[in-house]
Amino acid sequence: MLTEICPLDECTGCASCASICPKQAIKMVADKHGFFHPEINQDQCVGCGLCVKHCHIRENKKCTTDTKLIYGVQAKDERIRRESSSGGVVPVLARYFLQKNQAVVGAIFDSEFNVYEDICFTEDEYKSKGFIRSKYVQSETRECFTKVKKALSMGKEVLFIGTPCQVAAIKVFTGAPEKLYTVDFVCHGGPSPKVFHEYLNYQKNKYKSDIATVDFRIKKPSWSVSSIRLKFSNGKKYIGNMLEDPYCIAFTSNTILRQGCYQCKYAGPDRPGDITVCDFWGYKDKKDTLITDEKGTSVVIVNNEKGKQLFCELKDEFRVAERSFSEVSLSNEQLVRPNSPPKEKDQFWDDFDAGIPFNELQHRFFSPMTRKMSKKDYLLMAYGNTRIMRAIIQFYLTLKNVVKR
């Protein structure tokens, strides 16, 4: 009988093992930080080994890229670009598949704000269920892999959008048939669902109301300094930008990531997806087809011939400019290596496990970063994406100092 599918500290929680088990002997169980791991029922397990054969961590096959085309990209449809988390690449890809009556997979919230992967078949479903925005919480896959396999067996083309580990997992699970198209995004790491819910409870108590909606990455004050927005049942609203909101800081500081994320084998230049997408942080104005504004710019990395054909079919939907790997990886470290844990990580988890309230954890570990920034640095980070804006901000601050004197 099997006692372990893969080492616990390497498991990504993809649930491929649970989905493939013919005896339903494996269930996914959340640990004390909300991360899911497989648990094997020894009374039901027959030792067939299918779970191990379909584990992407166990698979020794290395990601290879036979094509490497790199672009800065913006959707020409300004509504899509405005509503998306980045430059609008993923929503345009999704629309293309759904308008052909095919299928798209992405992450959504359930009624209790747990994040999970699901499949949709219509544009209305894609919009109404909130597939469009990023969710900075590690997602469950639940029945998603089984649904994808069923859709493929019915002759559907499926666009699977997910973290690199999820993309690798679905390819192993399905055998990567021709009708499966995959897009991996450059992942910072999977943050703790338990910490996210502690954060939501803290906000519910603070605003004395249940939460109606959660939106990550709204472009306020800007794309470079985006925000999380909570709408409450009592009509109140909270918007906290990534430099001030405690959950955003907990995530971007690498404190609350799944243990395996610190040794992620997909955080490098060789990617599992047909296409890789990420934000074009640090984009520099080169007077090309891209618009230098704060509405969002993406990086698209075409990894193979399949990805090339897909992107070429949709190229007219985008403003596109060729870029180099060295340029786009400069501000996307996970294209080179996984994130490193901060020195405070173990102390944070010790305090969290001891039941320290979230508001106290916030003060100890996640105080606003703006306290350490000058107004000039903040303004340049939030709005200084273009040469003209940098000049305006510099002029404003200089004038302000002159007036003060």
- For residues 276 and 299, give the distance between their C-alpha atoms in angstroms, rounded to a whole number: 8
Peptide bond into 7 cis (omega under 30): no
145 and 86, same structural domain?
A: yes
97 and 120, same structural domain?
A: yes
Class of residue 399 by CB neighbours under 10 A (exposed 0-12, middle 13-18, buried 19+): exposed
Give the model's pLDDT for residue 378.
Answer: 63
**Residue 173 region by backbone torsions, left for phi larger than 0, else alpha for psi between -120 and 50, else beta:** alpha
211 and 290, same structural domain?
A: no
355 and 298, same structural domain?
A: no
Give the model's pLDDT for residue 6.
Answer: 96
318 and 177, same structural domain?
A: yes
405 band by pLDDT with thresholds 50, 70 and 90: very low
Q: Say whether pLDDT at 127 is over 80.
A: yes
399 and 280, same structural domain?
A: no
Please answer whether residues 328 and 335 qualify as being in contact, where contact means their C-beta atoms are separated by less than 8 angstroms: yes
**Dihedral of the CA atoms 197, 203, 207, 208 (nearest 10)?**
30
- For residues 112 and 129, give the distance between their C-alpha atoms in angstroms, rounded to a whole number: 14
* Segments forming the whole domain that contains residue 29: 1-60
Q: Say whether pLDDT at 137 is over 80.
A: yes
- Find, among 299, 297, 300, the residue nearest to 275 by Cα: 300
Q: Say whether pLDDT at 180 is over 90.
A: yes
Q: Say whether pLDDT at 163 is over 70.
A: yes
- For residues 222 and 295, give the distance between their C-alpha atoms in angstroms, rounded to a whole number: 7
Q: Would you give the distance in Å from CA 24 to the centre of its chain?
A: 29
Neighbouring CB atoms inside 10 A of 46's CB total 12
pLDDT tens digits, 10-50: 999 999 999 999 999 999 999 999 999 999 999 999 999 99
Which of 335, 360, 384 is the last residue before a domain boundary? Answer: 335
Which of 318, 335, 352 is the last residue before a domain boundary? Answer: 335
Percent of the chain at pLDDT above 90? 83
Q: Say whether pLDDT at 299 is over 80.
A: yes
287 and 220, same structural domain?
A: no
Q: Say whether pLDDT at 402 is over 80.
A: no
283 band by pLDDT with thresholds 50, 70 and 90: confident
pLDDT tens digits, 42-82: 999 999 999 999 999 998 676 766 678 999 999 999 999 99
Three-state secondary structure of the chain: CCCCCCCCCCCCCCCHHHHHCCCCCEEEEECCCCCEEEEECCCCCCCCCHHHHCCCCCCCCCCCCCCCEEEEEEECCHHHHHHCCCCCHHHHHHHHHHHCCCEEEEEEECCCCCEEEEEECCHHHHHHCCCCCCCCCCCECCCHHHHHHHHHHCCCCEEEEECHHHHHHHHHHHCCCCCEEEEEECCCCCECHHHHHHHHHHHHHHHCCCEEEEEEEECCCCCCCCEEEEEECCCCEEEEECCCCHHHHHHHCCCCECHHHHHCCCCCCCCCCCEEEEECCCCCCCCCCCCCCCCCCEEEEECCHHHHHHHHHHHHHEEEEECCHHHHHCCCHHHCCCCCCCCCHHHHHHHHHCCCCHHHHHHHHCCCHHHHCCHHHHHHHHHCCCHHHHHHHHHHHHHHHHHHC
Token pair 């345009």: residue = 92
94 and 171, same structural domain?
A: yes
Average pLDDT over residues 182-187: 98
Give the model's pLDDT for residue 373.
Answer: 66
Neighbouring CB atoms inside 10 A of 273's CB total 29
pLDDT tens digits, 229-246: 999 999 999 999 999 999
Total number of domains in the chain = 4
Q: Say whether pLDDT at 172 is over 50.
A: yes
- Find, among 325, 194, 185, 195, the residue nearest to 264 by Cα: 185
79 and 177, same structural domain?
A: yes
Q: Say whether pLDDT at 265 is over 50.
A: yes
Is the pLDDT higher at 85 or at 283?
Answer: 85
Helix pair angle (345-353, 358-365), 10° resolution: 160
107 and 49, same structural domain?
A: no
86 and 180, same structural domain?
A: yes
263 and 173, same structural domain?
A: yes
